[in-house]
Amino acid sequence: MGQSQNASVHQQIDRYINHLLVEKGLADATLSSYSADLQRFSDFLASQKIRAVDQADTAAVLKYLIDLRNEGLDIRSRARHLVTLRGFFRFLVSEKEISADPARLIDLPKFGVRLPHVLSVKEIARLMEAPDAEKPRGARDAAMLELLYAAGLRVSELIHVKVRDVNLSSGFVRVMGKGSKERIIPIGSHAIDRIGHYNEYARPRLLKHHTSKFLFVARAGNPMTRQGFWKLVRQYAKKAGFEKKVSPHTFRHSFASHLLEGGADLRAVQMMLGHADIATTQIYTHVAREHMKNMHRQYHPRG
């Protein structure tokens, strides 16, 4: 216990952030968020004349969360702060700098699960037919949409897929996700066919005399931008007759939901999505349950 009283809160926070960087490989934006949350907690401890983390008890953590509410933070932000504190305290317990986690008995703030917007299988099929695959750009766009849905990619991952990352004969794509973590994801026959057609017919025409290591190219061999692809998705959603908002992330949500509806294992879906925490993936089990409830209401004689 003596060690924690000698070590400043700032040093403990720095060690924890370094632990997350080295051991967990978290992205810079995530580390910045954790660091800002913990700095805010450190300022709170100072305002309460609490000089060391091991002097912060459950009551102090509760007061901190109440102060956040009084400062106008919404329920999700307060829940995020509590999750950050739990991780910090667990780290200090494992390092034997504190004897117990003062936040372990505090429940996360309750809020309704905001279900991600997903498309039905029929809607996905309709959207996939929107690009004109007989034209070079249409063939590229059709291949991008198919791969996005086939592998549940983030848009940033999709636009950075390189030619060497896709193996059409074995049916896999390799992507570099958040925190520079690589994952290999199977892709289906539709994506394989679309990418094969794009590679043979469209990509050479789009490149003209340029070269590129990226699979999907725009002008002068440059990779597609996030904004450019967002515009294409909106354009094709409108062409397919959708009135609701469709974004590249809608494909990722739909990928996860359709797999779970079909009986896929949650941990397998977690690996394919590249989620560090399975709790992030569990949101899709709610979507699958909603789907089952709707099916029951529609088809059961007493639904």
**121-298, CATH topology level:** hpI Integrase; Chain A (1.10.443)
pLDDT at 110 over 70: no
pLDDT at 3: 41
**2-94, CATH topology level:** DNA polymerase; domain 1 (1.10.150)
Tokens standing for residue 218: 């725009």
Mean pLDDT of 227-256: 92
Tokens standing for residue 142: 């059709």
| Domain ranges, ordered by start, for the chain | 2-94, 121-298
**Catalytic residue annotation:** 154, 178, 249, 252, 275, 284
Q: Look over the chain and give the mean of its residue pLDDT values, rounded to a whole number.
A: 86
The pLDDT tens digits of the residues spanning 79-93 come to 889 889 999 999 999
Nearest to 157 by CA among 180, 191, 132: 180
Nearest to 224 by CA among 294, 177, 158, 174: 158
The model's pTM is 0.61
pLDDT at 232 over 90: yes
pLDDT at 111: 52
Half-sphere exposure of 292 (CA within 13 A, CB side): 11
pLDDT band, very low/low/confident/very high, at 4 (cuts 50, 70, 90) = very low
pLDDT band, very low/low/confident/very high, at 148 (cuts 50, 70, 90) = very high
Mean pLDDT of 280-287: 71
Are the folds of 2-94 and 121-298 the same?
no
The pLDDT tens digits of the residues spanning 243-269 come to 888 999 899 999 988 988 888 888 888
